[in-house]
Amino acid sequence: MQSAPATTAKTSRSSLPALLALAIGAFGIGTTEFVITGLLPLIATDFDVSVPTAGILVTGYALGVVVGAPLLTAVGTRIPRKRMLMLLMGVFVLGNLLSAVTPGFELLLAGRVVTSLAHGAFFGIGAVIAAELVAPDRKAGAIATMFTGLTVANVVGVPLGTLIGQQLGWRVTFALVAAVGVAGVAAIALLVPELPRPRVAARLRQELSAFRNVQVGLAMAMTVLGFGGVFAAITYIAPMMTGPAGFSDSSVTWLLVLFGLGMVIGNLVGGRFADRALMPLLYLSLGLLSLTLLAFTFTAHNQLAAIVTVPLLGAFGFATVPPLQKRVLDQTAQAPTLASAVNIGAFNLGNALAAWLGGVVITAGYGYTAPNLVGAALTGSALLLAVLSAALERRAAPVRVGVPA
């Protein structure tokens, strides 16, 4: 028993190259997902469509993730996980190359949808692999390490991709993202260990049966509402900052960098503490996120206050991601892959829902800061579901009868 700590440390060290390989894939996916927001005006001009019409590229991507996550993960039950990850990154490369060379807007949309199909399954399967590579008490930390690639994409990949698109053309951005995907395939091939393929029929039945668990449904509802609250605000960050806050257009890029830095910090903190106190961390992060979104309704009118609030949104928002993903894995321990991927789709469903609701309140004439109130309501609802989930879990737990001394 005394050798266990050394074994755990060795396992953690030996898993790091594989986790970094997963992070490279996550970096590419994170870049292509978010860089589109900075490229929309350029794409709209090139194809002579309105910016709202070009916004279909964002919605199409999100819906592609929702559909692709369960579909490709179910197909992947017949394929060893490492090979499946490589195939998914191949789909990612193909979609970005199609986006780079497309002659028309419709084919660009098709390229975005093809790219998005790999998103949910990659993160879903990758999260399961990351958790299996480390000791049980380090699972959330391993998941957070993989998601670091996604958060770093918002600090480096998205601003750089936007700048390249502005200087050299948006097609070059997609071509370079495809190159990152090729690097991801190579890294996975070299660094991720071979993992056994599950028994297909029994495994798929197990994967599907996990959705009968009420706690799985509650966890996914928390995912939709919790992180969705962030997207209610961040989708409209540009008009919010250049309007009520009074920033120049060029300032939006570095404000998004601040948001990305907050995401990195929140992800690392969430991964560190989710293994120790998952539900308390969810209560704290969701509560602080809801309050921050509520405050942003007012701080968005002051530049200094906005500069403070934006990274807090990223930090509290992404602090929810490792515990939300681990919550699903904990509730589906015997068959986690499909549920993990569907939960990634739930993040994107929340993004699409929140962005739509934010647009509804803006169109209704409530102003560019109104989406923050929508986000606060969504996140507050997720907090209530977390409390309900814990209460149901306590009620279902077996009662331990004490034995008198």
Backbone angles phi, psi at 235, to 5 degrees: -60, -35
Amino acid in position 102? T
216 to 131, 148, 162: CA distances (angstroms) = 18, 24, 37
Q: What is the pLDDT along the chain (405 residues), one digit of tens a residue?
A: 333 333 333 344 568 899 999 999 999 999 998 888 778 778 888 999 876 677 788 778 888 888 888 888 777 777 888 899 999 999 999 999 999 999 999 999 999 999 999 988 898 888 888 888 888 778 878 888 888 888 889 888 988 898 898 889 999 999 999 999 999 999 999 999 886 665 544 466 666 666 778 888 898 899 999 988 998 888 788 788 888 999 887 787 788 889 889 988 998 888 888 888 889 999 999 999 999 999 999 999 999 999 999 999 999 998 998 888 888 877 776 666 777 778 888 888 888 788 788 888 888 889 889 999 999 999 999 999 999 998 988 887 665 445 444
Helix (H) or strand (E) holding 339: helix 337-363
Helix (H) or strand (E) holding 210: none
Is the pTM above the cut of 0.75?
yes
Written as six digits, the tokens of 3 are: 């050798």
189 to 89, 135, 168, 179: CA distances (angstroms) = 11, 23, 32, 16
Domain boundaries for CATH 1.20.1250.20 within the chain: 10-197, 205-394
Helix count and strand count (H, E) for the chain = 17, 0
* CATH number corresponding to 10-197: 1.20.1250.20
Classify domain 205-394 at the CATH class level.
Answer: mainly alpha
- Are the C-beta atoms of residues 112 and 98 closer than 8 Å to each other? no
Among 108, 368, 336, which residue's Cα sits nearest to residue 244? 368
- Are the C-beta atoms of residues 149 and 23 closer than 8 Å to each other? yes
Among 254, 211, 256, 243, which residue's Cα sits nearest to residue 346? 211
